[in-house]
């Protein structure tokens, strides 16, 4: 039973079903691993041992009485951006260090109703603003593959926990690459569904025209299993779309023979590390050997996606984060002179440096005299970028390329220059700007560090991405590699 | 520097963020870099391009105007820094 932590969610589901072990045994085993390893990794902000063991016992009882949900007794971790009733929800910020959510996010509710057991809440970049997990008020997360390196961000805690076998799966969110980039840098699978596919009710907002919830796992099959529970209409989120949700697991069985893959010419230019380029091209060749065909596609405006994103996202964040005013919840400055002083000092003290920079960038691009030159212009360029994707998707089913320009970088390496940090998102932000689903799957190692293959699909066609990744994982074993210190 | 100290001060004021004197130099430098970087957008030809505010071309859904949520003020106010008799307290606004 010592190797339960290394099993996928799908394998664990089968084991629970057969009665090889109980959810209490499984949950206790993973809690022991968290106790042993999390001091090193800092992947979790809150560990919910007591609640987890109660939920596991309930899951075992439900199974005994023939009432098991599809995720019955399976342990997961939630990114600390999702509201969890009665449990601290910090969003990685001092601002919410004392915030106990009065309700559950829809995603938390759905996974819970299916029987999932929550082990804890994952560390993250503050308000999901960052690509390295270094902006968290609770300190950086360390990459299990090299503790001197970043696991990426903003869902760095979720990715590190899954990579280190502290849980088979963790929820995550993605505004510009925050699921896929950490997945690539930690040898895990990360899927950002179509905009509007998964409810954002109870998910703390960063940039509302870009944010989407997803999941990090070690296999595409596990991601399919979880997405099937998470996806679907929710009347409590006005941006959640009422589209039918296919049986993602059943669709994994369909071959990828005849699938057309577009390879973006601009994604293989000098910005990409040469060794990463070789690995990603090998992965695309592997998909061709499975029956897919690859063609080159041209996306002339894609190079503008990072500057576009860094206007649109900060603008929306400056608006969304105005709710943190020190009055109704969150951090409040002591002894304010007047209401203005209360607002300014509560926000000045409660937010970290990167969040302040983004709020200020957003305030600037939305202010009178600059709106047309920056915000309106960015919205126009966003249209051009979305059209690049639409033109490509007229001919192909999936677009494939690198998830990140390099493997994981050292902690502290990019904190001095915001632009170098922002350029990490170069291959991932386009999917958010256009609302397309996208996924990263492990595709090899460069200097002993994992990297990912990035796949983008048509709106609402998460299935094509999951099928591709699943077919690829049947032929490769990159994803089974476990960092030495966490075996 | 594309932004100066006064502009950064003004942005902070609009955003209701207190910036400490020792934070100024770094903030002016980093915000200027960001503004220069996103300034590359001006190179794009966007004549006649419709601004895109939403990734999918759909209208926001409407719901019937009826009360669906129970009043849970007491529970919600447990997160508030300062309340009395169900009211949120702030420093005196009107003398």
The answer for A 374-403 residues in CB contact with B (under 8 A) is 374, 376-384, 386
CB atoms within 10 A of CB A447: 11
pLDDT of residue A382: 98
ipTM score of complex: 0.96
Does the distance separating the beta carbons of B31 and A361 come in below 8 Å?
Answer: yes
- Cβ neighbors of A81 (< 8 A, separation 6 or more) are A89, A91, A92, A124, A127, A128, A173, A203, A204
DSSP string, A445-469: EETTEEEEEEEEESTT-HHHHHHHH
pLDDT of residue B59: 81
pLDDT in tens, A28-64: 999 999 999 999 999 999 999 999 999 999 999 999 9
Helices (H), ranges, A231-304: 248-251, 274-289
User: A242: exposed, middle or buried (C-beta count within 10 Å: 0-12, 13-18, 19+)?
Assistant: exposed
Q: Phi-psi bin for A197: left (phi > 0), alpha (psi -120 to 50), beta?
A: alpha
pLDDT of residue A2: 52
What are residue A399's DSSP bridge partners? A262, A456
pLDDT in tens, A240-297: 999 999 999 999 999 999 999 999 999 998 899 999 999 999 999 999 999 999 999 9
* B49 shares contact with chain A (CB less than 8 Å): yes
Contact A435, A195 (CB under 8 A): yes
pLDDT in tens, A104-139: 999 999 999 999 999 999 999 999 999 999 999 999
pTM: 0.97
pLDDT of residue A409: 97
pLDDT more than 90, % of chain A = 99
What domains are there in chain B, each with its CATH number? 5-40 (1.10.20)
Contact A200, A211 (CB under 8 A): yes
* B22 shares contact with chain A (CB less than 8 Å): no
**pLDDT, averaged across chain A:** 97
Contact residues, chain B, for A376 at CB < 8 Å: 51
Closest CA in chain B for residue A237: B61
User: What's the angle, vertex CA A70, arms to CA A69 and CA A76, rounded to 5?
Assistant: 100
- Cβ neighbors of A38 (< 8 A, separation 6 or more) are A44, A47, A166
Strands A169-174 and A117-122: unpaired
* B83 shares contact with chain A (CB less than 8 Å): no
- A304 three-state secondary structure: helix
pLDDT in tens, A346-367: 999 999 999 999 999 999 999 9
Contact A75, A52 (CB under 8 A): yes
The catalytic residue positions of A are: 79, 154, 178
pLDDT of residue A1: 44
> Tokens 């560390």 appear where?
A123
Q: How far apart are CA A201 and CA A396, in angstroms?
A: 33
Q: How far apart are CA A401 and CA A228, in angstroms?
A: 26
What are residue A402's DSSP bridge partners? A453
Q: Phi-psi bin for A258: left (phi > 0), alpha (psi -120 to 50), beta?
A: left
Structure tokens at A334: 């002591």
Confidence check: pLDDT of A17 > 80: yes
Mean pLDDT of A157-180: 98
Confidence check: pLDDT of A298 > 70: yes
The tens-digit pLDDT sequence of chain B (95 residues) is 799 999 999 999 999 999 999 999 999 999 999 999 999 999 999 999 999 988 998 887 888 999 988 899 999 999 999 999 999 999 988 77
Mean pLDDT of A288-308: 97
DSSP code of residue A389 = H
Does the distance separating the beta carbons of A379 and B51 come in below 8 Å?
Answer: yes
Closest CA in chain A for residue B16: A344
Look at domain A4-255+480-486 and name its CATH class.
alpha beta
Strands A398-402 and A449-457: antiparallel
**Which of B14, B33, B40 is opposite residue A304, by nearest beta carbon?**
B40
Q: How far apart are CA A444 and CA A447, in angstroms?
A: 10
Structure tokens at A367: 């202010």
Does the distance separating the beta carbons of A378 and B50 come in below 8 Å?
Answer: no
- Cβ neighbors of A66 (< 8 A, separation 6 or more) are none
Cis geometry, peptide bond prior to residue A154 (ω within 30 degrees of 0):
yes
Strands A438-446 and A293-297: unpaired
Contact A223, A466 (CB under 8 A): yes
Q: Break chain A into its structural domains and give their ranges.
A: 4-255+480-486
* A342 shares contact with chain B (CB less than 8 Å): yes
Contact A238, A228 (CB under 8 A): no
Interhelix angle A462-475/A274-289, rounded to 10 degrees, is 100
């Amino acid at each position: 039973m010592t190797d339960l932590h290394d099993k996928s969610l799908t394998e664990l589901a089968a084991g629970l079903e057969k009665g090889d072990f109980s959810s209490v045994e499984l949950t206790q085993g993973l809690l022991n691993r968290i106790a042993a390893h999390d001091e090193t990794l800092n992947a979790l902000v809150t560990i919910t041992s007591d609640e987890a063991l109660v939920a596991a016992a309930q899951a075992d009882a439900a199974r005994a009485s023939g009432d098991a949900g599809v995720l019955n007794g399976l342990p997961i971790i939630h990114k600390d951006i999702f509201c969890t009733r009665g449990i601290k929800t910090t969003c990685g910020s001092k601002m919410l260090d004392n915030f106990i959510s009065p309700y559950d996010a829809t995603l938390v509710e759905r996974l819970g109703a299916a029987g999932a057991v929550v082990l804890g809440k994952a560390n993250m970049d503050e308000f999901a603003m960052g690509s390295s997990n270094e902006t968290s008020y609770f300190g950086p997360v360390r990459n299990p593959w090299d503790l001197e390196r970043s696991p990426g961000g903003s869902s760095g805690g979720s990715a590190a926990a899954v990579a280190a076998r502290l849980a088979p799966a963790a929820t995550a969110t993605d505004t510009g690459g925050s699921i896929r980039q950490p997945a690539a840098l930690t040898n895990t699978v990360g899927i950002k569904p179509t905009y509007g596919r998964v409810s954002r009710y109870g998910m703390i907002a960063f940039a509302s025209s870009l944010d989407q919830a997803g999941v990090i796992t070690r296999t595409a099959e596990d991601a399919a299993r979880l997405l099937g529970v998470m996806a679907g209409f929710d009347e409590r989120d006005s941006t959640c779309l009422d589209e039918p949700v296919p049986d993602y697991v059943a669709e994994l069985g369909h071959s990828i023979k005849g699938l057309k893959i577009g390879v973006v010419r601009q994604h293989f230019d000098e910005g990409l590390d040469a060794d990463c380029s070789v690995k990603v091209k090998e992965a695309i060749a592997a998909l061709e050997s499975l029956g897919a065909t690859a063609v080159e596609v041209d996306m002339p405006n894609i190079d503008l996606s990072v500057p576009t994103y860094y206007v649109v996202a900060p603008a929306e964040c400056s608006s969304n984060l105005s709710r943190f005013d020190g009055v109704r919840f969150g951090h409040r400055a002591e002894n304010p002179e007047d209401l203005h002083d209360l607002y300014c000092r509560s926000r000045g003290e409660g937010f970290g440096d990167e969040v302040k920079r983004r709020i200020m960038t957003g305030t600037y691009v939305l202010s009178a005299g600059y709106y047309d030159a920056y915000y309106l212009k960015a919205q126009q360029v966003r249209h051009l970028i979305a059209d690049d994707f639409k033109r490509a998707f007229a001919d192909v089913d999936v677009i494939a390329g690198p998830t990140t320009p390099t493997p994981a970088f050292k902690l502290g390496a990019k904190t001095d220059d915001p632009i170098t940090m922002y350029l990490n998102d170069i291959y991932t932000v386009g999917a958010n700007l256009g609302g397309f689903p996208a996924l990263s799957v492990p595709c090899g190692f460069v200097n002993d560090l994992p990297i990912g293959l990035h796949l983008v699909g048509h709106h609402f066609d998460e299935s094509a991405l999951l099928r591709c990744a699943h077919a690829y994982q049947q032929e490769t074993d990159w994803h089974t590699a476990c960092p030495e210190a966490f075996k | 520097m594309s932004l100066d100290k006064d502009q950064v001060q003004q942005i902070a004021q609009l955003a209701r963020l207190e910036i400490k004197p020792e934070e100024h130099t770094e903030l002016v430098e980093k915000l200027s870099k960001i503004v220069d970087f996103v300034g590359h957008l001006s190179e794009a030809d966007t004549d006649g391009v419709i601004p895109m505010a939403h990734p999918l071309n759909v209208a926001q859904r409407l719901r019937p105007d009826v009360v669906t949520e129970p009043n849970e003020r007491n529970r919600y106010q447990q997160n508030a820094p300062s309340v009395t008799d169900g009211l949120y307290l702030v420093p005196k606004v009107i003398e």
